[in-house]
Structure 1
Amino acid sequence: MREDSSWLAAATKSILQDLDTSKKELELVRDVLDNYETNSTTSEASGSRFEDRTFCMRACQEYSGSRVHMLEERIRQIHVWSSDRKMGKEIPDGVPDEWSTVDIEWRQWLSEQTSLQTSTPNNRQIDPFQAGGVDMAVRSWGPLIPLLEIYTR
């Protein structure tokens, strides 16, 4: 019998890798945020730069936490489809298109949140798409780039 649903195994492997990465990102975000808040001076904590950085890190935390839950739900759905297939029920022919759409929308949301915090020395907002900028980095790397940028400034 030909295995028409080999995509289930490939999707499971890919999602488990993404889940592991997202859990590590979430742990990193939490550690950076805790460290940043703990080690900031009182004068720093009252400034807008501190608030901007904290806002950005919280957006990264929201993204990573939500992504972990979403990927766990996808794994549960694949297990349901695997069980259905074993019982002879029909299952989708491949990964649902909406999964990709949701991934793109979440990256765009995080890009928007981190781009809001990117400003020039005169506190004017700069175009997040200028020369790729933070927006393109977030779309490729998720929360890691804005975290490193904030934490190393």
Structure 2
Amino acid sequence: MKEDSNWIVVAEKKIRQELDASKKELKLIQDVIDERGTNSTTSKAPGIRFKDQMFCMRACQEYSGSRVHMLEERIRQIHVWYSNERMGREIPDRVPDEWFKVDIEWRQWLSEQTTLKANARNSQSVECMEVRFWGPLIPLLDIYTG
């Protein structure tokens, strides 16, 4: 492997860490959804707060599930670059800018979904900037502590 392609090793390691974290987030979200669903069947009709929480959890589930698939696809792309490099073909000299843009857009989408419900109930617990940085962790903590 050429030294100038060392970025690819670092990128794969980082993506694998992100993939592991996203899989754990997805499992946690599913556990919360299952727990909330079980609790709602044993109580009376669920209120608006419960519905808002479930909306947020579904958005987090969509985000984390899509992120898992996206990161798996990025790892496949890195393996193609490894193969191309071994065959003497050109490979990019850094992570594609598109990857960063997609990450930002997905976090923005999640932030909009959680902020929409937070604003609907006049809650300040889920802040837009926190969701953009931390992803689904903030809505999860909000539901657990709220």
TM-score in same-fold range (> 0.5): yes
Give the C-alpha shift of residue 37 in structure 1.
1.1
- Residue type of the alignment partner of 2:137: L
Give the C-alpha shift of residue 124 in structure 1.
4.9
Which one has a larger percent helix, Structure 1 or Structure 2?
Answer: 2
Give the C-alpha shift of residue 83 in structure 1.
0.3
The percent identity for this pair of structures is 66
Indicate the residue corresponding to 1:67 in structure 2: 67
Query: Hey, what's the Cα distance between the residues in 1 that align with 2:3 and 2:78?
Result: 16
Give the C-alpha shift of residue 125 in structure 1.
7.6
Matches within 5 A, 1:94-109: 94-109=94-109
Query: Hey, what's the Cα distance between the residues in 2 that align with 1:17 and 1:99?
Result: 16
Indicate the residue corresponding to 2:13 in structure 1: 13
1:47-66 superposed Cα distances (whole Å, 9 cap, x missing partner): 22211110000000000000
Question: Is residue 116–residue 125 contact of structure 1 (8 Å, CA) maintained in 2?
Answer: no
Could you tell me which runs of 5 or more consecutive residues in structure 2 were left unpaired when the two chains were aligned: none
Give the C-alpha shift of residue 44 in structure 1.
4.5
Indicate the residue corresponding to 1:134 in structure 2: 127
Give the C-alpha shift of residue 134 in structure 1.
1.5
Question: Is residue 44–residue 50 contact of structure 1 (8 Å, CA) maintained in 2?
Answer: no
- Residue type of the alignment partner of 1:43: K
Could you tell me which runs of 5 or more consecutive residues in structure 1 were left unpaired when the two chains were aligned: none
Indicate the residue corresponding to 2:35 in structure 1: 35
Give the counterpart of 1:147 among 134, 140, 146. Answer: 140
RMSD between superposed Cα atoms in Å:
1.9
1:14-37 superposed Cα distances (whole Å, 9 cap, x missing partner): 000000000000000000110011
- Residue type of the alignment partner of 1:80: V
Query: Hey, what's the Cα distance between the residues in 2 that align with 1:145 and 1:60?
Result: 10
Give the C-alpha shift of residue 2 in structure 1.
5.0
1:56-84 superposed Cα distances (whole Å, 9 cap, x missing partner): 00000000000000000000000000000
